[in-house]
Amino acid sequence: MTIAKGDKIPAATFIKMTENGPEPVETSAFFAGRKVALFSVPGAFTPTCSAKHLPGFVEKAAELKAKGVDEIACTAVNDAFVMGAWGKSASADGSVTMLADGNGAFAKAVGLEMDGSKFGMGTRGQRFSMIVNDGVVEELNVEAPGEFKVSSAEHMLGQL
């Protein structure tokens, strides 16, 4: 079942690359007591994700925070090393937290996984964004396959 507005974020563990190496991030702690703009991409370093999706959130980070967002986070079914490298290459350090969902547990828990097998990618997370306030989904934007419209930073700014 796909997560919906008003639902609580399910328990899952992301992995975040830090100065000390990969560290677990529990959803219960990460989303507690604050407003998070979370977006998911099918894969780090993929064309639309690298050219538009992540750069849009990096570019609009100050505007999102001015509208009450405490943290902006990107997730993908990639490992923490890849997510860390992608964040550095996109100059996301300090503006977007890169959260690896290496086994796809979060994507599956929210019911937003996709089959990328025909591209050699296996099971991945769909392209989506959500505004999560104190662990509860306030807005959910799921893209149609092959599209990039409603999960953008610009669209999210209009929702805040």
Catalytic residues: 49
Between CA 13 and CA 1 the distance in angstroms is 19
- In a 10 Å sphere around its CB, with 0-12 CB exposed, 13-18 middle and 19+ buried, how is residue 120 labelled? exposed
Question: E-strand spans in the chain?
Answer: 13-18, 21-26, 35-40, 71-76, 97-100, 113-115, 123-125, 128-133, 136-142
* Type of residue numbered 142: V
User: Considering only CA atoms, which of 58, 15, 70, 53 is closest in space to residue 129?
Assistant: 53
